[in-house]
Structure 1
């Protein structure tokens, strides 16, 4: 496979996920300024949800970006990288929206997590196949 094209595919999804992290971070900062909170959430549910949405994304996105990068270096097909990247990004967006709107269980949160796990599974299988194939 053409590692340059694979690299471009990985760069697309890594870039989009980085901008998602930036947006979620800016939402936390905006709410901190609005509520004049420097540390923690001071019991403000809206701020607590924004902090968790950013925190959850920052827990899952770096591993996904790493998987995309290794897939590209290993010469995975650009389509495989696009599938992993799209599922990861869409899952993280849907999860962040669900968590930002409700602190409790919600369909968007569940769909977002399942999508993230599917992206991890697909990437893991593709990496293992690349390693042994």
Structure 2
């Protein structure tokens, strides 16, 4: 079996999510007939913000996933937390389109931040050879 498959698969899935978010921005931009910026269009602003939020959290998350994967850590825990994180990023993006606070957005942020915190602690524990 391919080594480091969790990290590599996480990168591929994140790439697909990023492509989807980019496509949504482009479609909203075309619908609003806005070439640059957001043109004051609320839907486009939300799509752009969802895409930006993804790009704010995901690079460091992928780095932590890859570091833990290359450190031969528990593959099940890593796979589950990576899946939760990536699903959360999709939920958050979908929830960003609501006019008011939404369940998908809140669950999306929770399922982003919990794995993120787990990985931070886990990486520190690896550094100090506790795990």
State the TM-score, normalizing by the size of structure 2.
Answer: 0.90
**Per-residue CA distance 1:17-47 (angstroms, 9 max, x = gap):** 1110110001111111222201121121111
Rounded Cα–Cα distance in structure 1 between residues aligned with 2:110 and 2:99:
18
Rounded Cα–Cα distance in structure 2 between residues aligned with 1:131 and 1:104:
42
Aligned 8 A contact 1:71 1:127 in 2: yes
The 3 A distance-change label for structure 1 pair 104 and 39 is farther
Give aligned pairs, total: 129
Runs of 4 or more off by more than 6 Å in structure 1?
none
User: How big is the shift at 1:129?
Assistant: 1.8
Matched, 1:117 2:76: no
Q: Secondary structure at the match of 2:76?
A: helix
Rounded Cα–Cα distance in structure 2 between residues aligned with 1:95 and 1:120:
15
Rounded Cα–Cα distance in structure 2 between residues aligned with 1:108 and 1:37:
27
Aligned 8 A contact 1:68 1:84 in 2: no
- Residue number in structure 2 paired with 1:50: 47
User: How big is the shift at 1:124?
Assistant: 1.3
- Structure 2 residues without counterparts, runs of 5 or longer: none
- Residue number in structure 2 paired with 1:8: 5
For CA contacts below 8 A with separation 6 or more, give which structure has more relative contact order: 1
State the TM-score, normalizing by the size of structure 1.
Answer: 0.89
Rounded Cα–Cα distance in structure 2 between residues aligned with 1:22 and 1:44:
21
- Residue number in structure 1 paired with 2:69: 72
Q: CA RMSD in A?
A: 1.6
Matched, 1:83 2:80: yes
